[in-house]
C-alpha cells in the first residue's frame, strides 16, 4: 500500500502562484510515476501533470504547459506542482496519485493510478 498526503492548496488571486506538495509513504519502492489531477466544480477529474519516479520524465496537459512545473524529491518521497499564472479556470481539488506500473500508456486517465491522496483545494479569485 502507498499512502499519499497533499498540501499547499489555498486561495490565490488570478495571475498568482501556488506550490502543491504530495508526500508518499508506505511501499514507495513500488512507485513508477506520480501524477497530479484536478477536479473543478461539476467537472470530471482531469489530468494535469506526471513525473516518473526514477528518470524524472515529465508530461503535462495542454492547459498546464508553460505555467505548471512538476518535480520530485526522491529522498523525501515527495512530488511538487508549482503553479504560476493561475487562471480562473484552474480552481478545484487537486489530487496526487501514484502509478506502480511501468511505461503506462494511458497515464492521462484516472484508471492508470492505483493510489490517491485526499486532495487539496485550490481557489483562484479574479
pLDDT digits (tens, 9 = 90+) for 35-61: 999 999 999 999 999 999 999 999 999
Which residue is listed with cell 501524477?
35
Q: Which residue from 116, 124, 122 is spatially nearest to 31, judged by alpha carbons?
A: 116
Number of H helices, E strands in the chain: 0, 11
- pLDDT value, residue 104: 77
Overall average pLDDT of the 75-101 stretch: 96
- Asked if the model's pLDDT at residue 77 lies above 80, the reply is yes
- C-alpha 126/C-alpha 124 separation (Å) is 7
> What sign results for the dihedral spanned by CA atoms 46, 99, 60, 85?
positive
Overall average pLDDT of the 105-114 stretch: 93
Amino acid at each position: 500500500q502507498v499512502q499519499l498526503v497533499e498540501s499547499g492548496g489555498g486561495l490565490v488571486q488570478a495571475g498568482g502562484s501556488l506550490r502543491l506538495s504530495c508526500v508518499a509513504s508506505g511501499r514507495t519502492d513500488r512507485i513508477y510515476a506520480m501524477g497530479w489531477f484536478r477536479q473543478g466544480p461539476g467537472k470530471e477529474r482531469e489530468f494535469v501533470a506526471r513525473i516518473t519516479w526514477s528518470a524524472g520524465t515529465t508530461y503535462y496537459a495542454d492547459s498546464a504547459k508553460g505555467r505548471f512545473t512538476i518535480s520530485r524529491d526522491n529522498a523525501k518521497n515527495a512530488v511538487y506542482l508549482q503553479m504560476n499564472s493561475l487562471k480562473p479556470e484552474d480552481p478545484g481539488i487537486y489530487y496526487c496519485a501514484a502509478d506502480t506500473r511501468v511505461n503506462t500508456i494511458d497515464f492521462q486517465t484516472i484508471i492508470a493510478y492505483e493510489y490517491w491522496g485526499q486532495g487539496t483545494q485550490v481557489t483562484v479569485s479574479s
